[in-house]
Chains A and B, each alone.
Chain A
Amino acid sequence: MTLIEINPITRLEGHGNIKIFKDGNGKVEAAYLQIPELRAFERFCMDRQCELMPQLTSRICGVCPVPHHLASIKALDRVFDAPPTARAVAMRKLMHFGYMIEDHLLHFYFLGGPDLLLGPDCPPEKRNIVGIIEQYGKDVATEIMKHRRFGQDIIRMLGGKAIHPAFGIPGGVSNSLTEDQLDGVEEMARSCVEFAQFSLSLYKEKIMGDEFFSRAVVSDEYSLDCYNMGLVNKKNGPDYYDGDIRITDADGKEVVRFHPSEYLDHIGEAVERFSYMKFPFYKGIGWKGLVESKDNGIYRVGPLGRYNASNGYSTPLAQKEGKELERAFGRPCNMTLAYHWVRLTEVLNVSEELLDLVRNRKLMLDGGLRTPVGKITGHGVGCIEAARGTLIHDYEVDGNGLMKDVNLIVPTTHNAAAISLSIAKAAQREIDNGIEETDRMNRVEVALRAYDPCFGCATH
């Protein structure tokens, strides 16, 4: 028995390692993704003053503080029976869309993307943003940084800080934008639409042309037949801020659709000894361990989960790209590496939505920012689509406004089982084919990075 260890897994958020055990014949016997960390927000947020939750929980993740902040404030809207004003919702969406653009671009150019843009077997010391700057030149690098910064700037304008903004108040928000600032955001959004198109063309050129990727993307080992989940609007289109949770099966058929406040009827979380990450599953099917089967309630969230659990994009350019994606990969698409293409299509979709939103000056400038709070109802669930998938915050609050219970199901946690299976399958393919030099083990990490995992988030 031999142990191959990848420690730590890199170019992603948070800690983790992969342990691959080979049997006497050199075949993979078992492969585990272990998340060694736990900070325990579900415990230490108890007894805190509830209005601080948006700020406390944003520290679950410095890469995706905005969706935590917003899911948290959405839960508090319900705790205080204070539906936010239309303008407050618009301000929150402004921040959320800015965040989505920034986070997806961070993944494509800094985290998972270098595998695609430089090739999976590019030497490890070059396989990163510095390598991208070297290969693509300072002009492209400046554009990458500029558009990431646009997202961060929008968050900062509203929340004072780009990382861990302060903004949400039960029933509304603390801040809005001036007409000048809105003009600035409109310009940024227009530029982001163009940059999303540039990134998509870069993706197509690089991936379709790369020998490893063009074969891997359609291979069984880099695919996973499982359920899919995402928030949808009334027409079953993807909704990044609100809506119902929809679960579909590996053939794209709707299995269940429910309001986020009913999540406990449909989602459970299993515990395994080898990792601090819990393993959510669809209760309608149940948990059968780390096995790929339609009788196992494993599901995926994030760009590919949303694509499979919904139909069509809301905006014209994204619609057109979506059609091309469908022609290439079909819908549903169970190919793990397709996450990247869907992610970039979402950058385009969100940039277009941001542009539409900021152009609606009446909504941006008129009306109140807060609904006065009502009596404390004691309970609230807040749900939002983060870049990495569906995020649920569930709070119990006492009459003094102190937290009495906190349950959090975070995007990468939803993906825990799917990621583990994807790693095991990729390890099998690469190792059974006789590849195990350290550098080429990166191909196993390629399967995991497609999800854009965030393991600090996942264990929280």
Chain B
Amino acid sequence: MSKGKIAFYWAGSCGGCEVSVVDLDETLFDVLEHFDIVFWPCAMDIKYSNVEDMGDGEIDVCFFNGCIRNEENQEIAELLRKKSKIMIAFGSCSHLGGIPGLGNLSTREEILEQVYKKSKSVSNEKGIYPSSSVDEHGNEIEVPALRKYVSALDDVVDVDYYIPGCPPPTDVIKTAVLALISGNVPPRTEVLAPNRTVCHECKKEKRDIAVKEIKRIYQLDDIDPKRCLLEQGLVCMGPATREGCGAACPTANMPCTGCMGPPSADPLSENCEQGARMISAIASITDVVDEKNSEEDEIKAALDEIRDPVGIMYMYSMPKSILKRRRKE
């Protein structure tokens, strides 16, 4: 039987998804027995022109990580879509926009201005930005432009499956890859990961007690490693986040930040509404019911330390949230 062909690509990303593939260690040997890797810029010397020379649909599976931040990301996404039978959005940036998706809270001009003019150490007397230009010998140098906003992969091309996480956990990748190797593929557009919440796999003890007020982690004198972090007053995104990581961050006594995105069983999450889920989780755990006093003030005080709800609750999913991006000044 001839081997299948797979490709790995990164768009607006950090390289963590590539390392998560390298971290498959010996499983990588199994993959290599079934597939030839025909494109993987991080690890192999195959150039864009080699991909352009491939036939349409020649690549069996393309694992695409990273968000769509600039024109080049979009062009390569379109190229790889054309060349691939199955396109997988790999990791939270291509799945939901990821942390770079927080760039949608600023305009493109604000971004360029901060990075190349206002930033403390910059010395930019000419006041220039990176842009296509001509050098002193008359050579034209093209520079890909930033898009106005960040998009997830399925905003620019059709996506067949999603593998969530920042980066995707090893077991989630293994299960997905083994399914592909065996030809046992699930229905199209599915997220290839279990579908309950992080709380279901978190071993910390829940006492079903109410919380008086939300705190910042540095305001807690002690973090009890055995107890639920939300019940200790921390914004732990577990109740609004898909499982599959083994509650990795809570295991290190740190709150979940929501990188797996919301589970998809709930109709609420049609729009990937991780924030809405989290707000309802916080509402149900915060004890502010005192009929006599002004409820509004009390709620406000209890939630006072959630200073950046948008950044916390959509840390990985801004471009796919109901907010999507800033519209106006």
Q: Does A402 reach chain B (CB closer than 8 Å)?
A: yes
- With A14-B15, A43-B111, A49-B216 known to touch, is A271 a contact of B124 (CB < 8 Å)? yes
Set of chain A residues within 8 Å of B100, measured between Cβ atoms: 39-40, 44, 59
Q: Does B245 reach chain A (CB closer than 8 Å)?
A: yes
Q: Does A305 reach chain B (CB closer than 8 Å)?
A: no
Cβ distance A135 to chain B, nearest Cβ, rounded Å: 15
Q: Which residue of B lies closest to A270 (CB)?
A: B123
A51 to B254 CA separation, bound complex (whole angstroms): 11
Q: Does A149 reach chain B (CB closer than 8 Å)?
A: yes
Q: Are A454 and B15 in contact (CB under 8 A)?
A: yes
Q: Are A269 and B123 in contact (CB under 8 A)?
A: yes
**Contact pattern, A 278-300, Cβ under 8 Å of B = 1, otherwise 0:** 10100000010000000000000
Q: Does A401 reach chain B (CB closer than 8 Å)?
A: yes
A127 to B47 CA separation, bound complex (whole angstroms): 13
Which chain B residues (70-99) contact chain A, with CB distance < 8 Å? 70, 72-73, 98-99
Q: Are A40 and B257 in contact (CB under 8 A)?
A: no
Q: Does B188 reach chain A (CB closer than 8 Å)?
A: no
Q: Does B217 reach chain A (CB closer than 8 Å)?
A: yes
Interface size on A, residues (CB 8 A): 101
Q: Are A60 and B14 in contact (CB under 8 A)?
A: yes
Cβ distance A181 to chain B, nearest Cβ, rounded Å: 13
Partner of A13, one of B15, B111, B115: B15
Which chain A residues (11-56) contact chain B, with CB distance < 8 Å? 11-15, 19, 21, 23, 29-30, 32, 34, 36-40, 42-49, 51-52, 55-56
Partner of A273, one of B105, B130, B166, B312: B130
Q: Does B25 reach chain A (CB closer than 8 Å)?
A: yes
Set of chain B residues within 8 Å of A62, measured between Cβ atoms: 13-20, 167
- With A43-B110, A43-B111, A271-B116 known to touch, is A165 a contact of B312 (CB < 8 Å)? no
Q: Are B216 and A51 in contact (CB under 8 A)?
A: yes
- With A43-B115, A401-B216 known to touch, is A161 a contact of B245 (CB < 8 Å)? yes
Q: Does A378 reach chain B (CB closer than 8 Å)?
A: no
**Contact pattern, B 48-89, Cβ under 8 Å of A = 1, otherwise 0:** 110000000000000000000110110000000000000000
Q: Are A274 and B166 in contact (CB under 8 A)?
A: no
Set of chain A residues within 8 Å of B69, measured between Cβ atoms: 37-39
Q: Does A243 reach chain B (CB closer than 8 Å)?
A: no
A175 to B252 CA separation, bound complex (whole angstroms): 6
A30 to B140 CA separation, bound complex (whole angstroms): 11
Interface core residue of B73, B130, B221 (most chain A CB under 10 Å): B130
**Contact pattern, B 1-45, Cβ under 8 Å of A = 1, otherwise 0:** 000000000101111111110110110010010000100011111
19 contacts between A and B (CB under 8 A): A3-B139, A8-B48, A19-B141, A34-B141, A39-B103, A44-B106, A49-B308, A49-B312, A51-B217, A55-B257, A61-B15, A62-B13, A80-B218, A128-B44, A160-B252, A169-B218, A271-B124, A287-B123, A442-B45
B interface residues (Cβ-Cβ under 8 A, vs A): 10, 12-20, 22-23, 25-26, 29, 32, 37, 41-49, 69-70, 72-73, 98-100, 102-103, 105-106, 110-111, 114-116, 119-124, 126, 128-131, 133, 135, 137-139, 141, 143-144, 146, 166-167, 169, 216-219, 221, 223, 225, 245, 248-255, 257, 259, 307-308, 311-312, 315
